Amino acid sequence: MTAPARFRSRLVAGLLALFAGFSGAHRAYLGARWWPIYPLIAMPAIGFALRAEPWYRHPGFFVAALVVVAAMLEAIGFSLVSDERWDARYNAGVARRSRGGWSNVFVAIAALLLGTVLLLSVLAIALETWFRPPLP
């Protein structure tokens, strides 16, 4: 016997990607097979970075930040996909149908803002580190 298909909400997937994207929680919620790849990349990278001084200049910090930016992009994609495409992909065989609303748009806006701030901050730190003159 197979388990009955369960309804998967776009809003929940978007919020999980927004707030816990580094852990792959959104992919686990959607039933993705390779969801552990997110924490397997992000957690050791940030662990190595936290042992360095300064931690925000360590390459591990940049790798972990890219994982978070990827999760923000997924939050935007989940939030803005049409109801029909979402249901066809994640809710096939479920009687309940998705209903879009402003909450999905607000999640997309928040993900865009947070992702942009993070990406620009990481880019500024990376470029400053790269072009900084050597210390005497």
- pLDDT at position 44 is 93
Other Cβ atoms less than 10 A from the Cβ of 45: the count is 21
Amino acid, single-letter form, for residue 56: Y
Q: How far is CA 121 from each of CA 10, 18, 71, rounded to the nearest angstrom?
A: 28, 17, 17
φ, ψ of residue 82 in degrees (nearest 5): -70, 155
Q: Give Cβ neighbours of residue 85 (< 8 Å, ≥ 6 apart).
A: none
CA–CA distance, 7 with 33 (Å, rounded to integer):
18
- pLDDT at position 134 is 72
- pLDDT at position 135 is 66
- pLDDT at position 57 is 86
pLDDT digits (tens, 9 = 90+) for 37-76: 999 999 999 999 999 888 888 889 999 999 999 999 999 9
pLDDT digits (tens, 9 = 90+) for 38-47: 999 999 999 9
Residue ranges in the chain modelled with pLDDT below 50: none
